[in-house]
Amino acid sequence: MAEITSFSGKATKADGASLIDTEVAALMARVGERVRHARERRNIPRRVLSEMSGVSPRYLAQLESGEGNISIGLLMRVAMALDFRIEWLVGEEDPWSSDLIRLAQAFRIADSARQKQALDLLTAGPDRASRAGRICLIGLRGAGKSTLGRMIGDRLDLPFVELNREIELAGGMPVDEIMALYGQEGYRKLEADALDRVIATHDRMILAVAGGIVAEPTTFNRLLGHFHTIWVQASAGEHMDRVRAQGDTRPMEGNPEAMAQLKAILRAREALYARAHAQYDTSGETVQDSLENMLELIENQGFLT
CATH of the domain at 33: 1.10.260.40
Same domain, 163 and 62: no
The pLDDT of residue 266 is 80
User: Is the pTM value of this prediction over 0.75?
Assistant: no
The H or E element containing residue 266 is: helix 258-273
For CA atoms 180, 185, 189, 194, give the dihedral sign: positive
Most confident of 38-52, 104-118, 266-280, 285-299: 285-299
Same domain, 150 and 297: yes
The pLDDT of residue 40 is 81
Q: Name beta bridge partners: 207.
A: 136, 161
Same domain, 86 and 134: no
Tell whether 98 is covered by a domain: yes
pLDDT higher than 60, residue 77: yes
Same domain, 86 and 39: yes
The pLDDT of residue 252 is 47
Same domain, 62 and 149: no
From 57, 84, 109, the end of a domain falls on 109
CA–CA separation, 68 and 248 (whole Å): 34
Q: How far apart are the first and last CA of the chain?
A: 62
Closest listed residue to residue 213, CA positions, set 195, 240, 238, 236:
195
Closest listed residue to residue 171, CA positions, set 161, 159, 181:
181
Contact 61, 48 (CB under 8 A): no
Tell whether 3 is covered by a domain: no
Same domain, 165 and 287: yes
Strands (DSSP E) along 149-248, which ranges? 160-162, 204-208, 228-233
Q: Kindly report the CATH number assigned to the domain that includes residue 269.
A: 3.40.50.300
Q: How many domains does the chain have?
A: 2
Place 219 in a pLDDT band, splitting at 50, 70 and 90: very high
Contact 235, 283 (CB under 8 A): yes
For CA atoms 90, 92, 94, 95, give the dihedral sign: negative
Biggest CA pair distance of the chain: 86
Q: Name the residue range of residue 78's domain.
A: 13-109
Same domain, 195 and 279: yes
Same domain, 219 and 280: yes
Tens digits of residue pLDDT in 223-280: 999 999 999 998 877 877 776 766 554 544 555 577 777 788 888 888 889 999 999 9
Q: Under 8 Å CB-to-CB from 277, ≥6 apart: which residues? A: 224, 228, 229, 230, 301, 303
The pLDDT of residue 63 is 84
Tell whether 2 is covered by a domain: no
148: helix, strand or coil: helix
Contact 35, 70 (CB under 8 A): no
How far from the centroid of its chain's Cα atoms is residue 179's Cα? 15
Classify residue 110 by its DSSP letter. S
